[in-house]
Structure 1
């Protein structure tokens, strides 16, 4: 009996739907956001609850087929060919407990759903740059949002998760129950189980001073040189990124969770160096309306500072989009599995860098990745410190020794040979 036969027979026991190749709906639910991918999973289960997820996991395990999970498709950068794909987009519940400042969401919920629900209580979640991004995948991958310097990565605010394990067991994990698995899920990605519910903290952030200010690119080198010193004295409530765009402009993006006059005073020295201002989009807005997109991370690294030769290389990338983002603050203080937290800056390019820039990054960069920004599965290990990678592999060996959840940006069990 093969996987397709098992799923056909089991269709009547699923609340959701099963789509096999050739079925109407198969193409719609297999496709991720990345248009360059054309995945052909063995089947797609459109789950509507944890029971559907459990049956899909057991079917994949029984037939030795990898299992992959996709909600919005934003984080899918590997074609799940031959896998059993669980689509959790229909599991999009959002519940807000305003008294305890907690959100509980299903794996298909998007940040826009959470922001709208929390906004009426004057609360904010540690969301990302787009309201269309799925909450669970973003959070399991670490979650670097515009409030991260003040409140940490999204993964650091997770309180508990309901998860289906590789043996089909459904369990709740938190700091007191399966703490090793809880730690791994909070930033280690989705290769330890299928999360069917996630609870995390909300924060009393109502309105913020946020937006983007556009300048010419003539003073880009001076601006970046000043930026490396300026970030050393700004408060954690201020998050910024400097972008060099393909259209020849320099853009400063910023969010300040505090008094707008104070935020303006903090930013004005940077604007003066970058000036004159072409367009000022800074404004006071509800946090839920302040999402600001970033640069697509074809190349990502973290650096301790912007040395002169790295600045020269980045400025010379006239045909690429470049983003330099300030980390630090509560990000560095976190102890979760996600990321290299000790470096204050990330550098993102939307293309492969020139020889000059690549050499500068080799000299000054960590060679690190960040799980939410990775597109190359062979570099998964680069998203973690050496100690955390080893710990994640031990957790994987405990909860998924057969690597059922081995598709995509996966952590291999400790017993398996590393392929990166």
Structure 2
């Protein structure tokens, strides 16, 4: 072993042997390309792995896992690095961005994509076949991490359910270095554990999942001046507490937008209430449902219209540039007036504060369904999810985290007691996202498939039973 900047590296001979075995690239600290591979969308990641293996084939993944096992090193996996996890030193990081193949089987309405694919890689080919995936709000997010964290589609979720429930099969390298194809029929125990356990049980090199016959939607964004935030929140509560068509998906976000040139002029430096809408029914029905919002008054911008599904990224208009941020969320079993009043009170104090966004999203519809091969998902059955993020230099982020903790604490009386895996904070763990019985089952699966807890970095770690 050799030492580099206080990191103890495997011997040069061992590293050279690994480099010779893989088609992709191997980086150590100080190498050109190391910082690029370690960095992710969230600039607060801060990982310092001993080695980075930028894999190009499933065989590369096997070589990296076998190397880590031989040298008693933990393994982490990264595609885009959107979600915050505690920073770690001294492990092997596998980056999967080159595994971005996409195959669309139109006859079966199924996509088979590589473990490093992003949603923008999938949406276009799927649309050419008249189909759509259950992707998230941002086209640049990785398919595997999003899906195996549950996969809450803000446009199609209430209509078709959780993305993870529609996974058909997975190709995965497990802790013994074996490449396995798993499904409900082939190794069903591992298949179940992978769906919601994310990278706790192996490195996914390929995922196959269902697609749906959607080529357009009626929706977009209604952006209101911040002084109308209370009216927007109360209209949202009145609308979403009642019976809604499963084809209708809706959320409200309170946005503190910075005074930066890249922010469009109508929003620059302003506090804004943003209503996000997607409807798969008729345009007329959608307009009837959003009429209470239109009655509030003039908008800053109105993008609601019949749109091709490929334009879905414009509904939430998520940031596209990497940034330093932290996020927190909570799931609500109900949303009574007291909870609404708490969010309204918060909205009054939000302008100019350290929190960049707070979103309230309606769940329900097909998201409540429990299919025959349901994934072990702790968020199932929740009525709403509240999520927030704070962005900026350390002092702003720290202050924003404190504010978000206060907000989620205020909502605790109506919480389910669990978090949605993809909307968690840096210090949240597996016990925060799964019911106790489900976590016990997953820990038993961990004991079987990864008894040494090799895969314990960049995830909500599930320890072996």
Bin of the TM-score, shorter chain as denominator length: over 0.9
Matching residue of 1:250: 273
Alignment of 1:215-254 (within 5 A): 215-231=224-240, 232-246=242-256, 247-254=270-277
Matches of 2:230 and 2:90, distance apart in 1: 48
Matching residue of 1:312: 341
Matches of 1:354 and 1:101, distance apart in 2: 40
Give the one of 361, 374, 379 matched to 1:325. Answer: 361
Q: Structure 1 residues 217 and 312 mapped into 2: Cα distance closer, same or farther (>3 Å)?
A: farther
Q: Structure 1 residues 45 and 128 mapped into 2: Cα distance closer, same or farther (>3 Å)?
A: same
Q: CA deviation at 1:271?
A: 3.4
Is 1:280 matched with 2:298?
A: no
Matches of 1:262 and 1:8, distance apart in 2: 63
Kept in 2: contact 1:147–1:239 (CA 8 A): yes
Matches of 1:216 and 1:11, distance apart in 2: 55
When the two structures are superposed, what TM-score results if normalisation uses the length of structure 1?
0.93
SS at match of 2:329: strand
Q: Structure 1 residues 300 and 354 mapped into 2: Cα distance closer, same or farther (>3 Å)?
A: closer
Matching residue of 1:418: none
Kept in 2: contact 1:393–1:411 (CA 8 A): no
Give the one of 133, 136, 155 matched to 2:141. Answer: 133
Kept in 1: contact 2:359–2:388 (CA 8 A): yes
Matches of 1:308 and 1:24, distance apart in 2: 55
Q: Structure 1 residues 249 and 327 mapped into 2: Cα distance closer, same or farther (>3 Å)?
A: same
Q: CA deviation at 1:406?
A: 1.0
Matches of 1:355 and 1:38, distance apart in 2: 22
Q: Structure 1 residues 179 and 362 mapped into 2: Cα distance closer, same or farther (>3 Å)?
A: same
Matches of 1:378 and 1:346, distance apart in 2: 16
Matches of 2:385 and 2:207, distance apart in 1: 28
Kept in 2: contact 1:377–1:408 (CA 8 A): no
CA RMSD of superposed structures (Å): 2.1
Kept in 2: contact 1:309–1:360 (CA 8 A): no
Matches of 2:128 and 2:345, distance apart in 1: 46
Kept in 1: contact 2:84–2:426 (CA 8 A): no
Alignment of 1:199-218 (within 5 A): 199-218=208-227
Alignment of 1:2-81 (within 5 A): 3-4=10-11, 5-75=13-83, 77-81=85-89
Matching residue of 1:383: 433
Q: Structure 1 residues 104 and 186 mapped into 2: Cα distance closer, same or farther (>3 Å)?
A: same
- Count residues with an aligned counterpart: 414
Is 1:289 matched with 2:311?
A: yes
Alignment of 1:346-365 (within 5 A): 346-350=385-389, 351-352=400-401, 353=403, 357-365=407-415
Kept in 2: contact 1:104–1:197 (CA 8 A): yes
Gaps of 5+ in 2: 2-8, 257-269, 320-324, 390-399
Alignment of 1:54-133 (within 5 A): 54-75=62-83, 77-133=85-141
Q: Structure 1 residues 358 and 138 mapped into 2: Cα distance closer, same or farther (>3 Å)?
A: closer
Kept in 1: contact 2:331–2:420 (CA 8 A): no
When the two structures are superposed, what TM-score results if normalisation uses the length of structure 2?
0.84
Gaps of 5+ in 1: 416-420
Matches of 1:172 and 1:39, distance apart in 2: 30
Kept in 1: contact 2:62–2:173 (CA 8 A): yes
Is 1:174 matched with 2:197?
A: no
Q: CA deviation at 1:358?
A: 4.4
Q: Structure 1 residues 188 and 275 mapped into 2: Cα distance closer, same or farther (>3 Å)?
A: farther
Range 289-298 or range 151-160, more displaced? 289-298
Q: Deviations over 1:5-48 (max 9, x none)?
A: 32212322211111112222111111122112322100011111
Q: Structure 1 residues 331 and 355 mapped into 2: Cα distance closer, same or farther (>3 Å)?
A: closer
SS at match of 1:155: helix
Q: Structure 1 residues 410 and 302 mapped into 2: Cα distance closer, same or farther (>3 Å)?
A: closer
Matches of 2:406 and 2:81, distance apart in 1: 34
Kept in 1: contact 2:329–2:423 (CA 8 A): yes
Q: CA deviation at 1:360?
A: 2.2
Q: CA deviation at 1:293?
A: 4.2
Q: Deviations over 1:327-358 (max 9, x none)?
A: 11111113312232122101112233378634
Kept in 2: contact 1:224–1:306 (CA 8 A): no
Is 1:154 matched with 2:163?
A: yes
